[in-house]
Amino acid sequence: MRIGVTYDLRSDYLALGLGEEETAEFDSEVTIAAICGALEALDHEPVRIGGIKRLAERLVAGERWDGVFNICEGLKGVAREAQVPALLEAYDVPYVFSDPLTLALALDKGMTKRIVRSAGVPTPDFALVNCADDIGSVDLPFPLFLKPVAEGSGKGVSAKSRVADRAGLSRVAKDLLARFHQPVLVETFLPGREFTVGIVGTGEDAAALGVLEVVWTDKASAHGYGYENKEHFEDKMIYRLAEDRAADEAADVALAAWRALRCRDGGRVDIRFGGDGNAYFLEVNPLAGLNPDRSDLVFIARFKGLSYRDLIARILESFVRRHARAGGAD
């Protein structure tokens, strides 16, 4: 197959003057080269496209592909991750990973939690702070955990995210409102083990690839798997494959959320245990990072004895299978 590859290159946005944290979700040249190399090794022809504006130019010019491997995060708007697949659907070009509805929904952690909760998936109690006036109406027991409602890569999550009283709630919520210009998600803090579950497949074909436990070292920022811990994980985090009963429970909750949100092909679901010993859904990443040296989904595959090419092959197998079932329509 001739497969287009859509992506946002971090270096391009840094060159435009955006900061390190602002560009945390975007990809490196290493990642794009690895994806294209894996596609070539699988006997496909990768075609580098880039971001949505380059994609639009090439579509208007009449260029087409058998499929598009889409990892574009987007820059503007709460539906930024949905923009490329929406454009591809308009031009009837099939693509890997989730559709616009799921991507737009998954970026908004509050809306996502409402959907999974309605589907019977356990998730911690939460409230949304849309403006400073909402802070006083938060009626949840402390401690609480705060983060921007629509960011990825741990942006806005730090040691300050866990608050023990109303003064801390007010201080951190106001800071996040000012920095990220979006609502703040306030959740009941879960003190237990944290896992991220790699998933490959779609619907009933979806399966847990593996369960990675995320463990903090004494050099990590406390309490949250946030930007600093993710960006500088080498001396802050320990990743280990979990295969115990808790991991099985985490995988079950993750798969239930994955299916409820209609995620496709591959990604990750973050799970944390509460003080009651039960697993709870935190958030889903239907466009999980694929950096060969830094990304959790790749770590999970490696722990399970899979090469990078094997991981990309499994993701593509899901895409091809569901595309065929849909009669050639995405």
* Residue 231 pLDDT: 56
DSSP label at 90?
H
Cβ-based neighbours of 236, under 8 Å, separated by 6 or more = 216, 217, 219, 220, 221, 228, 229
Closest to 86 in 3D by CA, of 50, 55, 48: 55
pLDDT of residue 330: 46
Tokens of 122: 């356990």
Architecture, CATH, for domain 2-97: 3-Layer(aba) Sandwich (3.40)
Is this model's pTM higher than 0.85 or not?
yes
With DSSP H G I counted as helix, E B as strand and the rest as coil, what are the percentages for the chain, rounded to 5?
A: 40, 20, 40
pLDDT of residue 329: 47
pLDDT of residue 229: 54
Q: Are strands 67-70 and 194-200 parallel, antiparallel or unpaired?
A: unpaired
Domain ranges across the chain: 2-97, 125-188, 194-325
* Domain at 194-325: CATH code: 3.30.470.20
For residue 72, the model assigns a pLDDT of: 96
Domain 125-188 belongs in CATH node 3.30.1490.20: yes
pLDDT attached to residue 78:
86
In the prediction, which pLDDT does 237 show?
81
The one-digit pLDDT tens for each residue of the chain (330 residues) are: 999 999 999 988 888 888 887 788 899 999 999 999 999 999 999 999 999 999 999 999 999 999 999 999 998 888 999 999 999 999 999 999 999 999 999 999 999 999 999 999 999 999 999 999 999 999 999 999 999 999 886 889 988 999 999 999 999 999 999 999 999 999 999 999 999 999 999 999 999 999 999 998 776 665 555 555 555 556 768 999 999 999 999 999 999 999 999 999 999 999 999 999 999 999 999 999 999 999 999 999 999 999 999 999 999 999 999 988 777 644
* Domain pair 2-97 / 125-188, same fold: no
pLDDT computed for residue 221 by the predictor: 62
